[in-house]
Structure 1
Amino acid sequence: MTNARLGEALRLLGLDAAAARIYLTLLDLAPAPLGAVAAASGVGEPDFPAAYQVLVDTGLASAPRADGDVVAPVPPAAGLELLARHRAAEVEESRIAVSGAFDSFRRQRLAAYNDDLVEVVTGDAVGPRIRRAWASAREQIRQFESPPYVPLTDPTRDALATLARGVTQRVVYSRESLEYPGRLQEVIEPCVRAGEQARVLPSVPVKLVIIDDAYALVSLSIEEADVHNTMLVVQPCGLFSALVALFEQSWRNAVPFQGRTTRPGGLPPADRRLLWLLAGGAADEVIARELGISRRTLYRRLQTLMARLGAANRFQMALQAQRHGWL
């Protein structure tokens, strides 16, 4: 790494120019007497002691007892952690300050700028805006998920990265989502295994993503009109509150896609997937296709599951499976 790039890295961690120059000099000369480091660094006498003390305080350099003492850089792990945490705290304070200033502006002058409460995003800007929204989530994402889909590069990666950051994801899938070729295996199941809370309804009222309590993305995809490239970004307002209430009501009415516990002995993954699809209302041919089996084999497996659960029909089987934590 060049001195310029290393100096920029130190600046981003919160060190001022003088401390960064001294640290670079230490890397070139150390171990060396403190006076020699001061002379080679080019930092003037009035500023050098305080700048070097910054390196000592942050755990990047050894502490001298006198000017003639030999000094050197020390292993930086602890110091870098301290700097990174301090920098993160400063960024968070700045984020809160800017957000609070804008909220104050919106409260005081909302009437003059009410057009900004709903933004229309179209065309090629839709995909990047969706990805930025997922990356910005801090606490939770609530979503209605259904075809048609905006073409994105590896959307599963974005969802898994968000879950890995500790963001709660609650998704209500439509039956069409489960039936869409490859969607269950390539997108839904990996996210559920990673901790996503998923439920299913026969249909969802709108394609929707709610980011924290900050804003909502509403797709205007209309399959019949072949419109797939328009989206609304809704800021906190009466419409936003209505979208949140719509999601929560639908969430309460939806069928859980996977329970948190399983019956002792559990189920083979294929049988669990069969029950998920069945609970979601998927047709027999769709279930058979997703499982890679014939309809005849599907019927045999359904009969086996019904017998295992003591169910006389599919409805009773779904109820019993949910009671046992298999859904």
Structure 2
Amino acid sequence: MTNARLGEALGLLGIGHAAARVYPVLLELAPAPLGEIGAAAGLTGPELTSAYAELVAVGLASAAADDQDVVAPIPPAAGLEILGRHRAAEVDVSRLTVGGAFESFRRQRLAAYNDDLVEVVTGEAVGPRLRQAWASAREQIRQFDSPPYFPLSGATEDALATLTRGVRQRVVYSQASIELPGNLEEAIEPCVEAGEQARVLPSVPVKLLIIDDAYALVSLSIKEADVHNTLLIVQPCGLLSALVALFEQSWQSALPFHGRAVPRPGGLLPADRRLLWLLWLLAGGARDEVVARELGISRRTLFRRMEVLMARLGARSRFQMALQAQRHGWL
């Protein structure tokens, strides 16, 4: 794994930039005095002390009293699991906070009157407004994607046309999006291959489409959307800012997803490309039966494939397998 990719992975876990500079040097030079590690990383004095203390605090490095102490990395499994849980808890708190703010907003303003900040769109009007939103994007689209979907023909073509126009597209898919039969091959993969930046979370807090920084389309909730087919069009205001912040925090915590089009990393033979695809699906949170279906194999064969991967990576669990796969540059 390159230092850049390792730094990005550490950043997703909430580790600071300076500490992320020290860690790859520690892996390369340790055991060595802390001062030597810091010099190689371009850090000295209080900045080095603070950065290294952060690595010690999260369980990635041994403690050091001064620059002359010999330091070394610590096996990361326990520390990374704690970090991962901490980041997930932060996202959950953000969801609750934004959800509560929105419910308060809706009670105080939507129920009282309809003004220029929020427009309610229902029924057959939803489809044209979604299509209009995609066509109006000029710089970027940010989206939380999860079933149920409004029955809109040509939705994938609209997204591809937007990418062709040079509009940056970032989408956080829920696990349910990947598991929906046919959705991966017919909707997600074509967009990823066309340049969409995609990530995956076990679930997303709301169905959301943010057009540039101009406005957002929000379903009242995923559950309600299945019954009412109702959208809120949110114009620039505090609520729009909160929705943008929620997306960005969820994006940082989500797992990058590149589909079948990922470049084959070093260390894998051509015959193992399907095993790499298996890793992407498992890391994305897909269930065993979904992974087996996408690969066209039985669950029994799937378990054998996983045993091969775990043995090759020296892992005893799927969590360890994902961590080791990242260190090898496979994810």
TM range (shorter): 0.5 to 0.7
Q: Deviations over 1:160-179 (max 9, x none)?
A: 11111111111111111111
* Structure 2 residue matching 1:199: 3-state secondary structure: strand
Structure 1 residue aligned with 2:315, among 297, 311, 318? 311
What is residue 127 of structure 1 aligned with on the other side? 127
Give 1:230's aligned amino acid.
T
Q: Are the equivalent residues in 1 in contact too, given 2:147–2:222 (CA < 8 A)? A: no
* Cα distance in 1 for residues equivalent to 2:201 and 2:223: 19
SS state at 1:232 partner: strand
Question: How far apart are the structure 1 equivalents of 2:156 and 2:267?
Answer: 30
Residue 163 in 1 paired to residue 163 in 2? Answer: yes
Offset, 1:265: 5.8
* TM-score after normalising by structure 1: 0.61
Q: Secondary structure at the match of 2:241?
A: helix
Contact 1:217 1:232 in 2 (8 A): yes
State which of 258, 276, 282 in structure 2 corresponds to 1:272.
276
Q: Which has more radius of gyration?
A: 1
1:250 aligns to 2:250 (yes or no): yes
For the 8 Å contact 1:217–1:233, the answer to whether it is kept is yes
* Residue in 2 that maps onto 1:150: 150
- Equivalent positions of 1:1-327 (< 5 A) are 115-220=115-220, 222-223=222-223, 226-258=226-258, 262-264=264-266, 270-327=274-331
Distance 1:279 1:286 in 2: 13
Determine the C-alpha separation between the residues in 1 that align with 2:282 and 2:299.
14
C-alpha distance 207-124 of structure 1, shift in aligned 2 (>3 A): same
Give aligned pairs, total.
215
State the identity %.
Answer: 77
**Post-superposition shift, 1:288?**
1.1
With CA pairs under 8 Å and 6+ residues apart, which has the higher RCO, 1 or 2? 2
Give the C-alpha shift of residue 262 in structure 1.
4.4
**Separation of aligned partners in 2, 1:176 and 1:160:** 22
Letter in 2 for 1:263: P
List, as ranges, runs of 4+ consecutive aligned residues in structure 1 with deviation greater than 4 Å: 259-262, 265-269
- 1:145, 1:314 → 2: CA distance? 25
Deviation at 1:187, TM superposition (A): 1.0
**SS of residue in 2 equivalent to 1:282:** coil
Question: Are the counterparts in 1 of residues 178 and 286 from structure 2 also a CA contact under 8 Å?
Answer: yes
Q: Any conservation in 1 of the 2:122–2:228 contact (CA below 8 Å)?
A: no
Question: Which letter does structure 2 place at the counterpart of 1:240?
Answer: L
Cα distance in structure 2, aligned partners of 1:155 and 1:226? 18
Shift in CA distance, 158/119, structure 1 to aligned 2, threshold 3 Å = same
Give the letter aligned to residue 201 of structure 1: L
Query: Which blocks of at least 5 consecutive residues in structure 2 are unaligned?
Result: 1-112
Distance 1:269 1:216, change over 3 A: farther
Shift of 1:253: 0.9
> More displaced, 281-290 or 198-207?
281-290
Q: Match for 2:290: what amino acid?
A: V
Q: Distance in 2 between matches of 1:272 and 1:121?
A: 43
Instruction: Give the superposition deviation at 1:224.
Output: 6.6
CA distance in 1: counterparts of 2:224 and 2:127, whole angstroms: 21
Report the Cα offset of residue 312 of structure 1.
Answer: 2.6
